[in-house]
Structure 1
Amino acid sequence: MESPAPAAARARRPLPSPSLLVLRVGWLLAALCLRPGLGLHTVNTVYGDTIVLPCHLEIPDDLMFGKWKYEIANKPSEFIAFRSATKKNVQYDDVPEYKDRINLSENYTLSINNARISDEKKFVCMLVTEENVFEQPTIVKVFKQPSQPEIVSRAEFLETEQLKMLGQCVAKDGYPKGSLIWFKNGVVLQPVDGTVAIYEQTNLDKASGLYTLVSSLEYKPTKEDTDAQFTCTVTYFGPTGQETIRSEPVVFDIHYPTERVKIEVVSQRNTIKEGDNITLKCSGNGNPPPQEFLFYIPGEPEPIRSSSLYVLIDVRRNASGEYRCSLTDESLMDSIIITVHYLDLSLIPSGEVIKQIGEALPVSCTISSSRNATISWLKDNARLRSIPSFSSLQYQDAGNYICETTLQEVEGLKKRQILTLIVQGKPQIKMSKRTSTDGLYKTVACHVEGFPKPAVQWTSTGGVINKTEETKYINGKFTSKIKIAPEENVTLTCIAENQLERTVNSLNVSAISIPESDELEEKTDDNRENASDQAKLIIGIVVGLLLAALVAGVAYWVCMKKSKEANGEPEKEAAQNIQNLPRSASKHVDKDLGNIEENKKLEENNHKSEA
């Protein structure tokens, strides 16, 4: 920017001629008036930006200089910039408002930095020749977007049936002046007598020229305004036209009186059983909700004042009934029916029961409950199909019996009792023997029955026998066995004893017949099967001979008898015939007689033990 020439330099310039002075006076007079017919331009700019004002005039060839001025109504024009066309120098007038803010380009475009509201004027571009003055006015419009509107001075809460100040909507520092509008849930709020009142206020900052808009809203809410969103908007004009900015929504706490109370049971289960805790909750639908209530408990003569929660500990079946709650003034009340479910089970007998075998034992399992329930039985954790009945106890009846019942509709309501049945009996013994297929040994068994389990001991004519085998003890029964190969007849005794009694039984066992032939003794294990076949063959032949001799003997005896009867000596001849039988046949008869006696003795002993 070029500064004006010093005063001394101006003093040394030659005085212009009288004709030139007249021309310049004409120029000045023309500059004071807007020439008609030249048109009017408008420049819109944003507050704080740079204002660019083109001259909009065609630059004449004989241009001497160009100047810019601004005009304000009822005030003289003010020149602010000058550029010479011949000397190419620029001068800026001493106008404080535009000091260091303006710039005039070679094409006479005027730029004003940091646009202000005070720049909203009519600016005129002047191009001067020796013969004429050309002017072009431009209107400058400045726009400033206001801040986003904000709802301030908000009420802590609103009360139904009361007209109260809700808050103020504020939009700051805008230009030109805009307008504020209130909304509820997106719907415009209009003033309504006694319900909606709106008061508007405009504040102007004289230094900046900016407007601050304030709109106060008084509102009488209803219960339906709970969670309603209140907003406000500011509408203003910008360089491109009308614009709108909306505030953030605000929700107000609406206070309204309680119109209904409710009592309920706070529980994770749908049902209540004996032993549970009951938490009662009483609530009101007002806002703020009531904090104290009166609880009416069955069996209590007076209502109990409490907060919204009341707890009953370890309830019994007599706690069933109607529960009520009300406001402290008893104006509103609610009630609920509560059923405390129960389940009783009685098993007779129960626990450990000791009975003797053959005795009768009546068993009963009964229930008492708040709803229908069924009974089921288990024995040693296996489910029974029918109710156990004991008319004559046996050892297999012993065990753990469980009677249980469940209320299906009530979670966790299940009862059970246990009967541990013990069936006792004195030891009972039966003995048996069996010869092995190869005839080399005999197995003698002692069949024992009794509870508690009897201890078994074996003895023989030769002493105590320790090497025995036992089967599993099942249902009060087991078997003790021994294997022997006696070389002579022996008597075996089985002794069974428990806490109740000691029982003894004996059995005679004949000797094992062992072949005396040297050939049989020298047979190896590989030839045993062949020797067995040969022995069977020999035994068959001997038996056949014995049978043949017996038949011959019988036939001979019959003939001799008839002869003796005729001669009178039958008995003597019969005796002689028996003596004349082969020796092998005589041994066979003796052996058969011995086995018959032995078995007869065994049966007698078995009958004694059973008795």
Structure 2
Amino acid sequence: MCSVQSFLGVAVTLLCCCVFLQNPSESGMMIKKLKGKPFEVLAKDGYSSRVSMMDNGSMFLEALTLEDQKVFICMLVTLQGLLERHVKVVVHKDPTNLELLEQAAELEIGKLAKIGQCNAIDANPAANITWFKNNKTLSHDGEGIVIDDSVQVHAVTGLSTTSSTLRYSAGKGDADASFTCGTLDLAGQPRVSLPVTFTITYPTENVSLKVLSEGVLLEGDNVTLRCVADGNPAPTTFNFFIKGEVKNVVDSDSYTMTNINRDATGEYKCSLAEKPSLEASINLTVSYLNVDLSPSEEVVKKAGDTLVVALKVDSSGDHKVSWTKDNGLLKADQVPTFKNLTYSDAGVYEGQVTLGPLRRVVSFQLVVEGAPVITLLTKRLGEDGRHKVLTCEAEGYPKPTITWSVNGTWLEETPYINGKVSQKITVVPSANLTVYCTVSNQFSQQIQSINVSSLFEEVRMDKQDQSDNGDQTKLAIGIVAGLLLVGVIVGLAYWIYM
């Protein structure tokens, strides 16, 4: 049996030579054609205006109605006998509307509740409705998902309206879930209702206490505590336990402490006002770092004295200390100690104490003063051999002034570093002389001398040394030659004797 499907109100063509209704007596329509004669349609008023025949024997039926949904029989009488063909006509109509009604206001977790009713109106055949959650099909399981379908046929039009009711047991994960219902049209294309979401309500089971302030808590900060409950709707009345006191908060889940100090360190709690057994706690630590240095300003000491440096640190945790002198990092992280001060100890000392993001810097300047002392007095011949270079080095504070007892040519003076300074001059002595170097500052002075020989006498001595060296060379050569001669004579005598 062939099947022809079409939509309500449109025309359809049934292919055959002769066509009869399945029960002509009931429909009152018959189409016949005798050989050599035109088609003749015998039909009631319901078909007479809608039925026509084509030359090839096909029947053309206009404006399909639901009453046309039946089996037509095509019969052909030939010499060989009676030929018969059945053609089933199916009339389709998609729903005129798909609506989701009677939606729930909210869902309570764990309880089976009606999500809504989905209606597919005026369809033929009756529409099949499918439910979706987040675009995934929901299937009836009789427990957490219950789907009830019903179909009503309109008494006049004969069209069917399908109603499907979904009852669903929601969980916490359904808070943002989207529910829809849908059907498929004759072409297999989905038709889906507008999505709906629901508020999921459930009681509070857990409470947590959080600190809204970021980073390390410091003295002087403001701290906000927030009590978070996992119920929906969220509770709005809480008790905060602040250092032995109960603070009741209404229409809020937070409590703020202002200008805290180190005494705020400790345990804090919160609970539901309506259910005190649900509580949470948290420990707060207020960080602080106080540093005291002695001495903390400029300190003046004498060379050889002792200086005691004391660093006191009051902190909320383990801290780190580093020291620098004149911006140079000292090897040891310990407080500098001075048992026998020298001029090189003078400088600016800076101590840095850190505790996490906290940083404190303290410093003092050490001045070591005293009478100047000559530490080096030397002489040497210049590279060109035409002058003498004298060097005088001294240490002391304030900076020593260096003077000479001769009029020489000033060559250079080194920078004054760590209490030391040196000066060089050049002289051209024409005779042996004694040169004095004097160093002085506001405390005292010191004088040392050095003997400097005549530059010309040294030249004569050099020549004499060269002459003496020549004579000594000649003498050595003569001795060597004599020894060789004696050796030859002794050897000759021995040969003659033998």
> What TM-score, normalized to structure 1?
0.61
SS at match of 1:536: helix
Partners of 1:449 and 1:382 lie apart in 2 by 23
Query: Residue in 2 aligned with 1:141?
Result: 90
In structure 1, what is the equivalent of residue 140 of structure 2? 188
Identity, in percent, stands at 32
Residue 258 of structure 1 aligns to a residue whose secondary structure is: coil
**1:472 deviation in Å?**
4.1
Aligned partners of 2:248 and 2:170: how far apart in 1? 36
| Deviation, structure 1 residue 447 | 2.1
Match of 1:53 among 14, 27, 45: 14
Distance 1:375 1:397, change over 3 A: same
Quote the residue 1:477 is aligned against: 420
CA distance in 2 between counterparts of 1:212 and 1:381 reads 90
Residue 152 of structure 2 corresponds to residue 202 of structure 1: yes
Shift of 1:93: 7.1
Match of 2:203 in 1: 257
* 2:456 counterpart residue number: 514
Q: Quick check: 1:458–1:466 contact (8 Å CA) kept in 2?
A: no
Which structure shows the higher strand fraction? Answer: 2
Is the Cα contact below 8 Å between 1:182 and 1:188 reproduced in 2? no
Q: Which residue of 2 aligns with 1:296?
A: 241
Cα separation, 1, equivalents of 2:312 and 2:108? 63
| Distance in 2 separating the partners of 1:46 and 1:183 | 29
With over 3 angstroms needed to count, the CA separation of the structure-2 counterparts of 1:289 and 1:513, relative to structure 1, is closer
- Is 2:345 aligned against 1:384? no
In the TM superposition, what is the alpha-carbon distance from 1:484 to its structure 2 partner?
0.5
Shift of the 541–74 alpha-carbon distance from structure 1 to 2, 3 Å rule, reads closer
Cα displacement (A) at 1:423: 1.8
Tell me if 1:425 matches 2:373: no
Q: Indicate conservation of the 8 Å contact 1:71/1:77, yes or no.
A: no
Cα distance in 1, alignment partners of residues 452 and 166 from structure 2: 127
In 2, Cα distance between equivalents of 1:406 and 1:45: 87
Q: Do the aligned residues in 2 keep the contact of 1:431 with 1:444 (CA within 8 Å)?
A: no
Q: CA deviation at 1:264?
A: 1.9
Amino acid of the structure 1 residue aligned with 2:331: R
- The 8 Å contact of residues 148 and 245 in structure 1, kept in 2 or not, is answered as no
Secondary structure of the 2:466 match is: helix
2:394 equivalent to 1:434: no
Asked whether 1:106 is paired with 2:106, we answer: no
Give 1:78 shift: 3.4
CA contact (8 A) 1:295 1:326 kept: yes
Cα RMSD between the aligned structures?
4.7
**1:354 — aligned with what?**
300
Quick one: distance in 2 between partners of 1:397 and 1:368?
Answer: 28
**Aligned counterparts of 1:310 and 1:431: Cα–Cα separation in 2:** 75
Q: Would you say 1:78 and 2:32 are equivalent positions?
A: no
**Paired amino acid for 2:91:** V
Deviations 1:110-152 (A, max 9, x none): 133564423214545466899x999876543324455896644
Indicate conservation of the 8 Å contact 1:277/1:312, yes or no.
yes
Quick one: which amino acid aligns to residue 454 of structure 2? I
1:537 alignment counterpart: 466
Tell me the equivalent position of 2:398.
452
Distance 1:128 1:358 in 2: 144
Q: CA deviation at 1:263?
A: 0.9
Larger radius of gyration: 1
2:456 partner SS: coil
Partner of 1:120: 69
Give yes or no for contact 1:198–1:216 (8 Å, CA) kept in 2. yes
| Structure 1 residue 285, shift from structure 2 partner | 1.1
Q: Report how far residue 169 of structure 1 moved.
A: 1.4
Query: Partner of 1:399 in structure 2?
Result: 347
Distance 1:317 1:358, change over 3 A: same
Change (3 A) 1:216 1:362: same
Alpha-carbon offset, residue 72 of structure 1:
7.5
- Counterpart mapping for 1:489-504 below 5 A: 494=437, 496-498=439-441, 500-501=442-443, 503=445
Q: Separation in 1 of the partners of 2:463 and 2:434? A: 33
Which residue in the other structure is 2:3 paired with? 43
Deviations 1:435-474 (A, max 9, x none): 52887433333222112323434454x6xx5623223433
Q: Which range moves more in the overlay, 171-180 or 70-79?
A: 70-79
CA distance in 2, matches of 1:129, 1:306: 94
Match of 1:514, SS?
helix
In the alignment, the residues of structure 2 paired with residue 442 and residue 191 of structure 1 have an alpha-carbon distance, to the nearest angstrom, of: 115
**How many residues were matched structurally?**
462
**1:507 offset after TM fit, Å?**
4.2
Alpha-carbon distance in structure 2 between the residues aligned to 1:400 and 1:442:
40
The equivalent of 2:282 in structure 1 is: 336
Tell me which residue corresponds to 1:505: 447
Q: Compared with structure 1, are the counterparts of its residues 466 and 314 closer, same or farther at alpha carbon in structure 2 (3 Å cutoff)?
A: farther
Deviations 1:220-260 (A, max 9, x none): 65667656675656699x89xxx997957865321122233
Deviation at 1:309, TM superposition (A): 4.0
Q: Secondary structure at the match of 1:383?
A: coil
Q: Does the 8 A contact of 1:495 with 1:502 survive in 2?
A: no
Code of the aligned partner of 2:369: Q
Residues 345-397 of structure 1, C-alpha deviation per residue, up to 9 Å, x if partnerless? 33322343332211110122233333344545444213227543211111122
CA distance 1:133–1:176, shift in 2 (3 Å) = same
Q: Output the CA distance in 2 between the equivalents of 1:164 and 1:317.
A: 54
Distance 1:134 1:385 in 2: 116
CA contact (8 A) 1:433 1:442 kept: no
Q: Which moved more, 1:279-288 or 1:151-160?
A: 151-160
SS at match of 2:465: helix
Which residue pairs with 1:158 in the alignment?
Answer: 107
Asked if structure 1 preserves the Cα contact closer than 8 Å seen for 2:228 and 2:253, the reply is yes
Is the 8 Å Cα contact of residues 236 and 250 (structure 2) preserved in structure 1? no
Q: Which has the higher helix share?
A: 1
**Inter-CA distance 354–147: structure 2 relative to 1 (3 Å threshold):** farther
Unaligned 5+ runs, structure 2: 472-498
TM-score normalized by the length of structure 2: 0.73
